[in-house]
């Protein structure tokens, strides 16, 4: 099966592949991933140190006026919607989950502002991947590698789940993301530098 050598080679090539967001607790992870929508991880990491020193528990996000939270996350963009989602999520965490971040995807997606991709990231980083994260890099590279012909992220995820061994569901997206950033660039893929070019139907080598 072609996907196994792809994973093995990328794992050697990108041994440091991991989530770029910085966090220390499940709550910080959840908040970071929610803030990362429509912006870069670098941008989120600039905002979160001050944010996490001020907001340590779900209650903290609800104890300030919405405008304060909006100001504190302003630099991540779409700050009004994100603040509304964060407050709604914190309220539900307190009311339904004893203030703890749930580990199951089906529970995570019930939180305001948490779609399947966000839920998959959180579950995987907490050590319990239940799906495969499909972001722009994963979508582009899985199509280039011929692992899917689909355009819809849900259908792409379904294809990948059939191909990728379950034990690799957590690290597989990281490998594609880092390969997409470093080698398989969107406009000019560096096929000559690619460790999987002989396994890739899109290779220009």
The total of other beta-carbon atoms located within 10 Å of residue 20's CB is 16
Token pair in block for residue 23: 């966090």
Helices 153-163 and 116-125, packing angle to 10 deg: 40
E-strand stretches of 36-148: none
Active-site positions? 117, 135
CA distance 167 to 22: 24
Closest CA relative to residue 116, chosen from 154, 173, 73, 81: 154
């Amino acid at each position: 099966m072609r996907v196994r050598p792809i994973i093995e080679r990328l794992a050697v090539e990108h041994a440091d592949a991991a989530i770029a967001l910085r966090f220390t607790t499940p709550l910080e992870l959840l908040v970071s991933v929610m803030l990362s929508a429509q912006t870069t991880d670098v941008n989120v990491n600039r905002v979160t140190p001050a944010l996490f020193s001020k907001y340590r528990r779900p209650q903290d996000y609800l104890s300030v006026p919405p405008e304060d939270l909006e100001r504190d996350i302003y630099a991540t963009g779409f700050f009004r919607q994100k603040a509304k989602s964060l407050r709604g999520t914190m309220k539900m965490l307190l009311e339904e989950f004893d203030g703890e971040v749930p580990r199951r995807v089906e529970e995570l997606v019930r939180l305001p502002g948490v779609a399947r991709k966000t839920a998959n990231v959180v579950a995987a980083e907490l050590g319990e991947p239940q799906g495969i994260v499909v972001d722009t890099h994963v979508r582009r590279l899985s199509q280039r590698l011929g692992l899917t012909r689909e355009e819809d992220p849900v259908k792409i995820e379904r294809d990948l789940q059939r191909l990728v061994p379950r034990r690799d569901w957590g690290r597989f997206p990281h490998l594609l993301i880092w390969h997409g950033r470093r080698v398989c660039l969107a406009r000019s893929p560096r096929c000559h530098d690619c460790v999987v070019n002989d396994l890739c139907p899109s290779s220009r080598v």
